[in-house]
Structure 1
């Protein structure tokens, strides 16, 4: 793991993070769903009340991946949790241990912050990611189904 430098993202990283988000979206067959801009990403990560944060993984001074996360809360545990929104490693760096280094970095942050959970979601078809997460000791939570309101449905429901 010593080949990698993982550091908190800074505002100057916004173009890089957005590029990596777009690469991830393309990999997940959802490139047309990315509406984030540098301005909206900078605001959501770096304004005074920002709830999300990112880390950059570098090897030999070159960025090869990132993870974006935020803190959630569990009423049952009465503790915060760390929720991993996205983890992405560039294709040329996959298999190098960068993904594991990012995951371990965030697990360490969760322990340091006394989080009761470290959670994330993975697409059902993404077997390389599923295999990677299970090899790290993570287990799927099949008793829960994620629901989502977005776009017009969210606006309509909020206004009803």
Structure 2
């Protein structure tokens, strides 16, 4: 297995995995719009970076992150938006390898911390994060305003 930053050639594979993520969370298993993916990841002003876990040509999982500023004072943090391992690749160390790559990306970018959220109704994710030794933080409430 290897972890690599996604390239424009990976848009179709990312689209399929995004469809699987939607299905995992109860939505329609519709692949993501490739034009939106290309714009979000590979335009002149990318919104995120995607790391892909691969075995040969097979994509086993992905981690999507953005840098946030300010974190503490004038520091920068890395925000992990999505960590997903495809069902056929679970329990093979893929999530752990992706998390290590995310931490390395944060260190390379000079980030003071890595932050993320997890759904309270996703016990396998919560157990994975607990196994990493990371404690949930209290003190913040999550908000979402839908676009117009």
Shorter-chain TM-score category? over 0.9
State the Cα RMSD in Å.
1.7
Give the TM-score, by structure 1 length.
0.86
Which among 96, 99, 102 is matched to residue 103 of structure 1?
Answer: 99
Counterpart residue number, 2:129: 133
1:142 Cα offset (Å): 2.1
Q: Secondary structure at the match of 1:79?
A: coil
Question: Which is helix-richer, 1 or 2?
Answer: 1
Deviates more, 1:95-104 or 1:78-87: 78-87
**Greater Rg by CA:** 1
| Structure 1, gaps ≥5 residues long | 156-160
Number of residue-to-residue matches in the alignment: 148
Tell whether the 8 Å contact from 1:54 to 1:66 is kept in structure 2 after alignment. Answer: yes
Alignment of 1:47-126 (within 5 A): 47-126=43-122
Q: Is the 8 A contact 1:51 1:71 kept in 2?
A: no
Distance (Å, rounded) in 1 between the aligned partners of 2:74 and 2:68: 11
Structure 2 unpaired stretches of 5+: none
* 2:8 equivalent to 1:31: no
Q: Distance in 1 between matches of 2:72 and 2:50?
A: 27
* Runs of 4+ displaced beyond 2 Å: 74-77
